[in-house]
Amino acid sequence: GGGGGGGGGSGGGSAPAAKFGDRRDYRLTKELIRSRCNEHNIILVTFVNSKRADYGYTWAAHVARLNLTNYLVGAMDGEALDKLNARRIPSFDMESGLTTADYGWGTKNFRQLGLRKTELIITLLRAGADPVLTDADALITRDPSPFIVKLQPEAQVLVTSDHLMSTVSRDDELEEPARAVASAWNIGYMYIRHDVLHAMLHWQQMCSDHPNLWDQNLFKDVLKIGGLRFPSSAPARVSLSAHAKK
């Protein structure tokens, strides 16, 4: 679910330094990001620590099975970077400084992980990319680009909904915002266009100012500032995606 659940795991201890050359070779640079965007400017991204590296393997295998190359997996510690590189999974170093043990929902480390997620998103947006960011346990089983492209230029943010019943008749439609917007938004699977950087910077600041609050709820609070008026436009238009839940 939202809040970076893909980074946790069981066990503990500190991870060793990366073995695959200089860690600087795996920095998330603008050049690396741009090289991984597809023709629609979309890049698929997740992240794992060493205890959940197998989640990263599975996530990457599903993407590769679709013959997609526009993806990266972030390594939250040196051991994770080793493991991802050993399997030739396109990866980058995002040393988190957090425990490699189980974060535990609602713990201090869980909240800090949310702040790292905002930093990752902002780095991607500043590079001019339009990321689809998922938790590592949210698998991509279809190429999301055609779904996203058909919603352009209106859709700036697409986020999954925890609404417990569908508001549409087909699985390739958006949920009806007027009916589903009151439910929790699950930021474990979302698309963000680079032109909403200002809103994401506000979200990051809110996460920093309120470390005991859930990043997922703060995300919704920030975008509600725009009014979430439907169908009129707002500073950041948000749609609730039924497609991503499949």
Per-residue pLDDT tens for 186-224?
A: 889 999 999 999 889 988 888 888 877 868 888 888 887
User: Rounded to an integer, what distance in angstroms lies between the CA atom of residue 144 and that of residue 44?
Assistant: 9
pLDDT at 223: 82
pTM score = 0.77
* CA 220 vs CA 99, 202, 216, 238: distances in Å: 27, 11, 7, 10
Residues facing residue 74 across a β-bridge:
47, 92
User: Rounded to an integer, what distance in angstroms lies between the CA atom of residue 34 and that of residue 37?
Assistant: 5
117, 136 contact by CB (below 8 A) = no
Q: What is the pLDDT of residues 82-106, one digit of tens each?
A: 999 999 999 999 874 433 444 444 4
